[in-house]
């Protein structure tokens, strides 16, 4: 099965605001419910595991003052 790099998800998020559930839905719509993801340091993740991993790594920033939605922090996308 093809594995998708987490950068693809981060770039998809750029310019959009999400809740955790709306991000999960967007990932599944774009890449499929059975998609597997990897990053530079971790592999074989499903969409929810990838979201948790990216959140733990500080890749998201609040998109509104109520902290109800978030977006990607583009300064934290590594470019390699």
Mean per-residue pLDDT, 36-49: 96
Please give the residue range of the domain that contains residue 8: 3-75
Asked if the structure places residue 80 within a domain, the reply is: no
Q: In this structure, is residue 56 part of a structural domain?
A: yes
Number of domains in the chain: 1
Distance CA 52, CA 49 (A): 5
Is pLDDT at 1 greater than 70 in this prediction? no
CATH code of 14's domain: 1.10.10
For the whole model, what pTM was predicted? Answer: 0.90
Which range has the worst mean pLDDT, 45-49, 62-66, 71-75? Answer: 62-66
Mean pLDDT of 58-74: 88
Q: What is the mean pLDDT of the chain?
A: 92
25 part of a folded domain: yes
Helices (H), 32-73: 47-56
């Amino acid at each position: 099965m093809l594995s998708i790099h987490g950068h693809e998800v981060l770039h998809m998020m750029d310019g959009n605001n999400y809740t955790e559930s709306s991000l999960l839905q967007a990932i599944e719509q774009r890449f499929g419910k059975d998609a597997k993801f990897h990053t530079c340091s971790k592999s074989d993740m499903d969409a929810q595991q990838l979201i948790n991993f990216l959140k733990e790594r500080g890749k998201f920033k609040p998109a509104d003052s109520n902290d109800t939605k978030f977006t990607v922090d583009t300064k934290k996308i590594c470019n390699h």
